[in-house]
Structures are given as C-alpha cells and as structure tokens.
Amino acid sequence: MPFPEDLPDAARPQPEKPLTPPVGSSKPDDSSVGAAPAGGESAGVVGNGDSSLPGDLPGEVDSGSDKSAGAGRSRRGRRPKKPAKPQSKLVRFIKDAVFVVVAALILSFLLKTFLIQSFYIPSESMENTLHKWDRVIVTKLAPKMLKVHRGDIVVFRDPGGWVSNPQPLPERGWGVDLINKLGQAVGLAPIKSEDFLIKRVIGTGGDRVACAGGGAPITVNGVPLTETYLPKGVAPSLMEFSVVVPEGAVWVMGDNRSSSADSRAHMEGPLGGAVSLDQLVGIAQFRTYPFDRFGPLRNPSEVFASVLPPTQGGGQ
C-alpha cells in the first residue's frame, strides 16, 4: 500500500480547512477564499459576505439600468408642458361683466325692435290718466298681432301736422343727454316724443263717433258714453262733430279734452281726423315713472261695454 506522500498531489486527501478564521485573527486566511473543493462547487455560497449584484461582475450588463437611463434621456429631451396660469378673480369678473352688458344690450335692442318700447308723455293732453313727463311702456305687438280695441291708449307717429309746437325735454346736462341718446338707441331709455303722440281710442273702423257739442256726451254707434277717465270738470267735447271711422283706422281723443288737439282738430285730413293703423307704434301698457304711480294702464272696457258693432248700431 503506497504511502500518502507517494501519491500524486491530486490523489492525496486534503485536510479540512476551518470555515471561520482562527481566534484572534483579523481576517480569514487568504487560502480559504477562492479555494475550490473537489467536485467543482463554488466557494461563493459558503456565506463569505459576498453581496455582489448582477452587473457588478466583469462582463455583465444590467439591461434594466440601461432602459432607465434611456427613459431619463428621453424625458430630458422633451420639454414638459407648462400648466395654464389661472386667471385672477378680477379678470374673470371683468369678462363676466362685459358678457352680461353685451347680452343685455342685444336683448334690449331686440325688445325695442320687435316687442316693447319706452316713451315720454310730452304734454298734458292725457291728464289725469297720464301726466306730462310720465314714462310708459308700449307693446309693439299691436296692431300687427294684437287687435286694437276701444279704450286702448295708443302711441302713434305724427300723421302730418299734428305736432305743431313740440315740448322740449328739461335740460339735464350734456352728459345725461348723451347717455339718454345711447339708451334710446338700444331701447333702454324712453324716446323723446317730438314725433309721436299718445291718445285714447274712441272708435275703430266702421264706428260712427259723434257729439252734439256744448258738453254733450260722446256717442259711438248711437250709444252715449260715460267716460270715467275724464278729469273732473272737463266736458266730453264742446265741439259738434259726426264721423264714420274708415276701415284700417282709429278715432283718437285725449282724456283732457280741453287741452287736446286730437282727431277733432284734424277732420280736414285725408282720413277725416282718423289715424291709420299703419301709423300706430303700439298700445301703452305700463306706467314706469314716476315710481309712486308705477303700474298697468287698464282698458276701461266697461265704458264701451254697451256699444254695438257698426252693422247693428248707427255706424253706417
């Protein structure tokens, strides 16, 4: 049997090495690190404190870190969008206010053009129902869409020569006048009524309107009227007349008969004092100023309740 020293180095039994360094040693024996036991097992699995990660060893590439670096470069290559700067409360308020004002002007212009309009009362001819410089709202739906009835208060354009001495508005300064003109243009201010008149309808097309004069009552189709809207002490008419209202026209008179140059004063005209419906702006519906007399302008239908139609009364 051969002695161990006679065996080749590879066949000699290897002495077991201690897994931990000897007591008092500050580091393990260099020969214990990297020594590979027989069988080709790696010594790195023996708890030698190796904390190597993939990519730390030579020749290894950490593909994940490369992707992260590439993504970072890609993000750095694009400029991020700047967030929209929020508007201040003042800017938002101004924008909203401008929108509201413009919308109000457009709406007012449309209302003035198609539906309603405001007017001053230029004289005392409608007292005590309306006083001078009162303001009224007129609906423009009549006579195109709404029928004009006896007793309605109507605003109409001067048929020609009715307004001989227009009353100017009180002086209020150029600034107020400028604002008033701008307001009139869009319908927010009442129209200066130099070219318009306001009266009450007494007869419509086909009606016979008459009066014996001397304070006698007005008759429509032979029926005398008890005109409750006349001022106390004012006679229905001191002038005698009898007319048949043409079709498509109305006979108008002021409530303050002694101070009203109405249809009676223009009987020499082409319609015998009547006013064509084409000249009508509309029917006065509301008094808007002064505020202590704000309210609707009611049609006194009870005054004309007994009046017969022209074909049944004395209209023709």
Specify the pTM: 0.62
Torsion of CA 147, 274, 286, 255, to 10 degrees: -130
Name the band, by pLDDT with cuts 50, 70 and 90, for residue 35. Answer: very low
**Residues 155, 263, 159, CA angle at the centre, nearest 5°?**
55
Q: How far apart are CA 137 and CA 149, in angstroms?
A: 18
Name the band, by pLDDT with cuts 50, 70 and 90, for residue 60. Answer: very low
Least confident of 166-170, 194-198, 307-311: 166-170
Q: Above 80 in pLDDT, residue 169?
A: no
Q: Above 90 in pLDDT, residue 66?
A: no
Name the band, by pLDDT with cuts 50, 70 and 90, for residue 69. Answer: very low
User: What percent of the chain lies above the pLDDT cut of 90?
Assistant: 44
Q: How far apart are CA 310 and CA 212, in angstroms?
A: 19
Name the band, by pLDDT with cuts 50, 70 and 90, for residue 15. Answer: low
Domain boundaries, the chain: 117-164+194-303
Mean pLDDT of the chain: 76
**How buried is 262 (Cβ within 10 angstroms: 0-12 exposed, 13-18 middle, 19+ buried)?**
buried
H/E stretch holding 89 reads: helix 89-114
Q: Which CATH number fits domain 117-164+194-303: 3.40.50.300, 3.30.470.30, 2.10.109.10, 2.30.40.10?
A: 2.10.109.10
Please, which residues have CB within 8 angstroms of residue 16's CB and are 6 or more apart in sequence? none
